[in-house]
Amino acid sequence: MLAREVWLLGSQSGSAPQTSTRESTLLSPILARSRRSAVDNFPFVQVDELDLRLDDSAASFEEMHFELVSTDLMSRARRGRLETAHGTIDTPVFMPVGTQGTVKATTPSELSEVGAQVILGNTYHLFLRPGLDVIRECGGLHRFMGWNRPILTDSGGFQVFSLSKLRRITEEGVHFNSHIDGAPCFLSPEVSMQIQDTLGSDIFMAFDECPPYPCERAYAEASLERTLRWAHRCRGWTEKQLQGKPRLVFGIVQGGVYRELREKSALGLVNLDFDGYAIGGVSVGEPEAEMMRAIDNSEPFLPKDKPRYAMGLGTPPQLVEMVARGVDMFDCVLPTRLARNGTAFTAAGTINLKNAEHKTDQRPITEGCACSTCQSFSRAYIRHLIKAEEILGLRLITIHNLHFYLHLMRQIRDALEAGTFPEFRERFVANYARYEPDAETP
């Protein structure tokens, strides 16, 4: 079914979404899943969004929003497809980070060119600036930023705990001061869900507490229990308020470095029947071995028929290793952040274009790379731009780096479909030099 047909059916049907109460959902997830007709799921698609990538599969969104296409026999890697209201996402997938309603230094058409399927929006930042009134009046985040493919929004939990210095955690939520102007603010599970709804997100993240690393066991346990209670409230809000809207809601597994706490967190969330599960509390300064352990300690307790998302990770070989551990979705600021200090990703590791060795180098960043940067510009020219602090320099590296990450995920998907993922994994990780973000020689 085409998007236009979906829209017409949705607007003509005039049927109100069927009733689904928070209570019935929590008591009976299976009943809750079958509560809506496909048509009722798409009543809000606008005429000017008719080029959205909705297809036949979107019509049965409610019944099969995640489909496993193939699995690797030698590892836990999976090739899948996730249906959203703004199109299908092929997994494993990398999601560029659009913190302030922009993936830094790129336009939406450039994101499409490098193969981005879904991007991240940031609840905390967009809530503080420009604020919900602006986003609402401008028709939601998709229209505001000119991006008509899927958007996943984080819950704001991670930023509240990492950015705002003054905060007070209560059972109700978190009181904090804006890192921009110090204004007092409050985020709770319900407020976070409401913000993500106003943004028009396709994939909501439950509001969680993200404890620091390292973290005492007693605090990690108390924190994860509160996160579970908050997850329950998020689920309650979304089941009640999102009736008829084709939106997905993911829970976030916490529990720090403690295996039994990860299990407890995962099982508690699975009981709430989320549409997908994120592994949180990683990317907080822990060593790589702890990061992989957090995945290993969480993944066995997550349902195979739901997508898994490792939050805020990682380097290219880490992505390959996490795919092998059964993770389907990733986001990370590395490709965009490192671009801004002149660092480019290649299959052999990172190179710093500020280095003198590139001064007259006529080669592109990577020979044979299909990105627009490598098609037109030399290392020498990009080095000059970075040295001269010209904006174009960081734009060109950002485009190449995003292309590198997205192409890597495409290669992983192709290898999974061809049954050659074990060979790809071994070859890629062996070829990639150890990641050294500060490597810069005069």
Catalytic residue IDs: 154, 331
Taking the least distance from each CB to Zn ion, the nearer of 204 and 404 is 404
The answer to whether 100 and 135 have CB atoms below 8 angstroms apart is: no
Taking the least distance from each CB to Zn ion, the nearer of 369 and 394 is 369
- DSSP 8-state code for residue 53: B
Asked if 406 interacts with Zn ion (CB under 5 A), we say no
Of 65, 400, 413, 425, the residue at the interface with Zn ion (CB under 5 A) is 400
- The C-alpha atoms of residue 344 and residue 377 are separated, in whole angstroms, by 13
**Closest-CA residue to 371 (of 329, 404, 336):** 404
- The C-alpha atoms of residue 99 and residue 158 are separated, in whole angstroms, by 12
Min. distance of Cβ 377 from Zn ion in angstroms?
9
- Residue 140 CB neighbour total at 10 angstroms: 18
Residues 297-326 that bind Zn ion (CB under 5 A): none
- The C-alpha atoms of residue 403 and residue 397 are separated, in whole angstroms, by 10
Helix (H) or strand (E) holding 195: helix 189-199
Min. distance of Cβ 366 from Zn ion in angstroms?
5
Asked if 247 interacts with Zn ion (CB under 5 A), we say no
Min. distance of Cβ 146 from Zn ion in angstroms?
24
Taking the least distance from each CB to Zn ion, the nearer of 310 and 371 is 371
Min. distance of Cβ 405 from Zn ion in angstroms?
11
Given the rule CB under 5 A, which of 105-113, 245-253, 400-408, 409-417 is the region that contacts Zn ion?
400-408
Q: Pull the structure tokens for residue 129.
A: 């600036």
Min. distance of Cβ 369 from Zn ion in angstroms?
3
- DSSP 8-state code for residue 152: E
Asked if 105 interacts with Zn ion (CB under 5 A), we say no
Asked if 371 interacts with Zn ion (CB under 5 A), we say yes
Taking the least distance from each CB to Zn ion, the nearer of 142 and 400 is 400
Given the rule CB under 5 A, which of 16-24, 77-85, 282-290, 399-407 is the region that contacts Zn ion?
399-407
Taking the least distance from each CB to Zn ion, the nearer of 334 and 371 is 371
Given the rule CB under 5 A, which of 91-99, 234-242, 259-267, 392-400 is the region that contacts Zn ion?
392-400
Given the rule CB under 5 A, which of 90-98, 245-253, 347-355, 362-370 is the region that contacts Zn ion?
362-370
Of 126, 195, 369, 412, the residue at the interface with Zn ion (CB under 5 A) is 369
- The C-alpha atoms of residue 412 and residue 70 are separated, in whole angstroms, by 12
Given the rule CB under 5 A, which of 8-16, 120-128, 322-330, 361-369 is the region that contacts Zn ion?
361-369
Asked if 353 interacts with Zn ion (CB under 5 A), we say no
- The C-alpha atoms of residue 16 and residue 1 are separated, in whole angstroms, by 21
First-last CA distance in the chain: 58
Asked if 408 interacts with Zn ion (CB under 5 A), we say no
Helix pair angle (259-270, 288-298), 10° resolution: 40
Query: What Cα–Cα distance (Å) separates residue 441 from each residue in 340, 380, 389?
Result: 17, 16, 18
**Between 129 and 148, how does the x/- string for binding to Zn ion read (CB under 5 A)?**
--------------------
Taking the least distance from each CB to Zn ion, the nearer of 113 and 225 is 113
Asked if 383 interacts with Zn ion (CB under 5 A), we say no
The answer to whether 186 and 259 have CB atoms below 8 angstroms apart is: no
E-assigned strand segments in 130-245:
151-154, 167-169, 174-177, 184-187, 203-205
Q: What angle do CA 216, 162, 268 make, to 5 degrees?
A: 55
Taking the least distance from each CB to Zn ion, the nearer of 204 and 345 is 345
Contact residues for 5 (Cβ-Cβ < 8 A; gap 6+): none
The answer to whether 122 and 98 have CB atoms below 8 angstroms apart is: yes
Min. distance of Cβ 384 from Zn ion in angstroms?
17
Taking the least distance from each CB to Zn ion, the nearer of 244 and 335 is 335
Determine whether 426 is exposed, middle or buried from the number of CB atoms within 10 Å of its CB (0-12, 13-18, 19+): exposed
Q: What angle do CA 31, 34, 40 make, to 5 degrees?
A: 135
Of 261, 329, 374, 406, the residue at the interface with Zn ion (CB under 5 A) is 374
Q: How many residues bind Zn ion (CB under 5 A)?
A: 5
In terms of residues, how long is the chain?
Answer: 442
Location of structure tokens 């296409």: 69
Given the rule CB under 5 A, which of 72-80, 177-185, 207-215, 363-371 is the region that contacts Zn ion?
363-371
Asked if 402 interacts with Zn ion (CB under 5 A), we say no
Residues 52-81 that bind Zn ion (CB under 5 A): none
Could you list the residues that contact Zn ion (CB under 5 A)? 369, 371, 373-374, 400
